[in-house]
């Protein structure tokens, strides 16, 4: 019997977003790999999923992958989940998927929850072409990334934490212009879900006067056609 690796999205907040297929796969698989077993336990219990669960996160994924590949080669069906959303989207998963493919093991990714898609669609910004940046570098490479994005004409999407949100909005205003249209969503699918739209300056002002809590998705309009060069574009 051939083994198979399943990538299973889990709700980013609202448990009603779990799919019937995801529940079935998690119930049928031999074991589950979870980014944080403590976070996943209540969700699995809620859906009546009683399986062996092992931690698989950024600190152990390289070391653990060889054993997981062995299990898959022995014919086991293994599901990978993250704390919330789709595995490998700013979460562990890429390395395991790559190694499974190298070993000619079947990989199947289920469709499901991920934060940046509803944030983009709900932003009112163009969604026909976009670039997803995940989390920006905290220190090394951060300025280089901002300079590169000054030339981006597609909608820019990224994740940000509460304690860095204001700094990131300020930096984007500096590099792209305070009048650039944007949208910031937080606590998507949860009780206190909020989306703030406007210029970067207006959005920064809003969050300077409100509680910063939850996970944030920032969407920023791309460079308008015909706009002259930004002073940072040629800077080194």
- What pLDDT, on the 0 to 100 scale, is given for residue 232? 54
Between CA 80 and CA 88 the distance in angstroms is: 10
Q: What are 158-217's pLDDT values in tens digits?
A: 999 999 999 999 999 999 999 999 999 999 999 999 999 999 999 999 999 987 898 999
Q: Is pLDDT above 80 for 1?
A: no
Q: What are 64-106's pLDDT values in tens digits?
A: 999 999 999 999 999 999 999 999 999 889 999 999 999 999 9
Cross-strand partners of 79: 6, 32
Whether the model pTM is above 0.75? yes
Q: Is pLDDT above 50 for 235?
A: no
HEC assignment per residue over the chain:
CCCEEEECCECCCCHHHCCHHHHHHHHHCCEEEECCHHHHHHHHHHCCCCCEEEECCCCCHHHHHHHHHHHHHCCCEEEEECCCECCCCCCCCHHHHHHHHHCCCEEEECCCCCCHHHHHHHHCCCCCCEEEEEECCCCCCHHHHHHHHCCCCCEEEEEECHHHHHHHHHHHHHHHCCCCEEEEEECCCCCCCEEEEEEHHHHHHHHHCCCCCCCEEEEECCCCCCCCCCCCCCCC
Residue 75: how many other CB atoms lie within 10 Å:
11
């Amino acid at each position: 019997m051939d083994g198979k690796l399943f990538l299973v999205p889990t709700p980013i907040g609202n448990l009603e977003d779990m799919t019937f297929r995801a529940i079935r796969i998690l119930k049928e698989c031999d074991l589950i790999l979870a980014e944080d077993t403590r976070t996943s336990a209540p969700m699995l219990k809620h859906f009546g999923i009683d399986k062996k669960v092992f931690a698989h996160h950024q600190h152990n994924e390289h070391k653990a992958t060889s054993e997981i590949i062995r299990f898959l080669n022995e014919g086991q069906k293994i599901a990978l989940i993250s704390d919330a959303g789709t595995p490998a989207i700013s979460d562990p998963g890429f390395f395991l998927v790559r190694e499974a493919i190298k070993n000619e093991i079947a990989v199947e990714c289920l469709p499901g929850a991920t934060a940046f898609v509803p944030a983009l669609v709900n932003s009112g910004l163009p969604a026909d072409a976009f670039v997803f940046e995940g989390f920006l570098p905290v220190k090394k490479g951060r300025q280089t990334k901002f300079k590169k994005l000054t030339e981006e004409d597609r909608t820019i999407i990224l994740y940000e934490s509460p304690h860095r949100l204001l700094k990131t909005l300020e930096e984007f205003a500096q590099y792209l212009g305070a009048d650039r249209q944007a949208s910031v969503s937080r606590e998507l699918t949860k009780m206190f879900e909020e989306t703030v739209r406007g210029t970067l300056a207006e959005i920064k002002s809003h969050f300077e006067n409100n509680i910063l809590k939850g996970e944030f998705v920032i969407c920023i309009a791309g460079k308008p056609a015909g706009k002259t060069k930004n002073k940072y574009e040629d800077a080194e």
